[in-house]
Amino acid sequence: MRIIVTGGAGFIGSVMVQYLVNTYPEDTIINLDKLTYAGNLENLKPIEDKANYKFIRGDIADRKFVFDLFEQENPDCVINFAAETHVDRSVKNPEDFVRTNVMGTTTLLDACKEFSTPRYHQVSTDEVYGDLPLDRPDLFFTENTPLHASSPYSASKASADMFVQAYHRTFGLPVTISRCSNNYGQYQFPEKLIPLMISRALNDQELPVYGTGTNVRDWLHVEDHCKAIDLIVRNGKIGDVYNIGGHNERTNLDVVKTILETLGKPETLIKYVKDRPGHDRRYAIDPEKLEKELGWVPTYNFDTGIRQTIQWYLDNQDWMQHILSGDYQTYFKDMYKDRVQ
C-alpha cells in the first residue's frame, strides 16, 4: 500500500510512521506535515533513510497542494493525525483549530473523494464526548456516547468527525474513526502534562498543577495507540467508530506525584495554579468494541508505561533540550532541504 500519514512529524504521528515503516517494508509511507511548532523531524531520525519512507512538507488545508499531492502519490490509504491539539492554545486562538482540524479534514476528504482513495482514517479524541462526573466511576465513554465538546479544540475535532461520517453517508467514502484517551510516551511535545512535568522536575523547577489536581484522565501509551489504529485501518468495519482506551485512570496530581517519586524529587515542587476555563473533570474510555471485534490488547499498563516514558526522556535529554531551545526547528533546513520532494 501507499499510505499518507498526515501530521507524521508530531508526537503520535511520528510513532505511527516509525511503526508502519518498520512493520510493513513492502508499503510506502508518505509523511505529510506542515512542521508547525509541534512538528519535529528529529522524531523520524531512526527511519529517515529507509527506502519505503518519504517526507513531504505541506498544509492539509491548502486545497491545491493536497489535490496535487494526491494526483502525484495516488495513495491507497490516508491516516489523518494532523491537528492543532492543545486545549489551552484553543482557548486563546480558536480560529487556528477551525482551519486545521475542520477545513484541513474536509480538504482531505474532498481529495479522497476526487481520487477514489480506497481508505480514509480519522484520528480523533475522547474529548469530543465532553466529560464524566468524578463520583460515577462506573460510567465510561462508548462509541454511542453523544458528542458534547467542552473546548474549542474538542469542538473542532467533533466537527471533523461529523464531516467524516457525513462523507461516508453522503458519498460512500470508505472511512473509519478512532477516539483515544490521553496519550503519553516518547517524542511528546513538552507543553503536555507528562513531558512538561518531567522536564521541570529534572531542572528543580515548580510543577504547575491546575486547580486541585483531581481531574481524571485515562492514560494510553502511544505505541498501544498506534497498533490499535493499524488494526482498525486494516480490519475495521467501514463507517464505524472505535474507542481506544488504556484502562489506566489517574488524577493529574497522581501522575505528577508518580513522576516526582520516580525521579527522586520532592513534592514541594508542586504549585497549584488557577484552573483553566471549561476544564473537563474525567475522561474514561470503554474499548470493549475494539477488543472484541479486532482482538486489540494494550501492551502497557500505566505503571510500566510511565517508567518506560520517564527513562526515555532521561536517555534523550538532548532531544528535550532542542525542543526547549527551539533548535529542533533548524533540523528540516539542515537535513532535508535537498531531499524533500
Looking at the annotation, which residues are catalytic? 126-127, 153
CB 258 within 8 A of CB 308: no
Residue with cell 467501514: 238
Question: Which residues have C-beta within 8 Å of that of residue 251, sequence separation ≥ 6?
Answer: 213, 214, 215, 216
Instruction: Find, among 45, 6, 57, the residue nearest to 335 by Cα.
Output: 45
**SS3 state of residue 212:** coil
Determine whether 133 is exposed, middle or buried from the number of CB atoms within 10 Å of its CB (0-12, 13-18, 19+): exposed
CB 323 within 8 A of CB 10: no
Determine whether 179 is exposed, middle or buried from the number of CB atoms within 10 Å of its CB (0-12, 13-18, 19+): buried
Separation of CA 329 from chain center: 20
Residues 294 and 134: their CA atoms lie apart, in Å, by 30
Residue 143 half-sphere exposure, CB side, CA atoms within 13 Å? 13
Residue with cell 482557548: 91
Cβ atoms < 10 Å from Cβ of 119 = 20
Residues 25 and 4: their CA atoms lie apart, in Å, by 15
DSSP 8-class letter at 126: G
CB 253 within 8 A of CB 209: yes
